[in-house]
Amino acid sequence: MNDPRTPDGRPLWLSGQFIFGLIIAVVLPPVTLILFSQIHGYEINDPGAYRELIKVLNVRLLSASVIVNVGVFFLGLKFDKELFSRGVLYGTVLVFVAILLYKYV
């Protein structure tokens, strides 16, 4: 299997741009969810009988907030920041896995 490397020969995983893109992609969806909940008066940690409804709404909002990651990904490609864009792409995949685990567990 081909080990992807940066132009200077380091592994892709050790690139600062890749790690920064990965962090941005993992942080943006929860931040978007929190901002949306604060703006619209939506209580994320509502206890009681509404727990399942809140969980469904959280999953839908997290899935929709991944669109912000898509915008950041394409901005990275537009400005020729391929390593940053790869980090965003990998981070978005991690977010989708986390959303699936949150939804079904």
39-70 pLDDT, tens digit per residue, is 766 666 656 545 666 677 777 777 777 888 88
- Residue 19 vs residues 33, 41, 51, 94: alpha-carbon distances, Å: 22, 33, 34, 13
33 belongs to a structural domain: no
Residue from 75, 70, 86, 77 nearest 13 by CA: 86
Check pLDDT > 60 for residue 9: yes
85 belongs to a structural domain: yes
Residue range(s) defining the domain that contains residue 68:
44-105
Q: Which long-range contacts (CB under 8 A, 24 or more apart) does 93-98 make?
A: 94/22, 94/25, 94/26, 95/25, 95/26, 95/29, 95/62, 95/66, 95/69, 96/66
102 belongs to a structural domain: yes
d(CA 104, CA 24): 25
68 belongs to a structural domain: yes
Q: What is the pLDDT of residue 20?
A: 92
Give the count of domains, the chain. Answer: 1
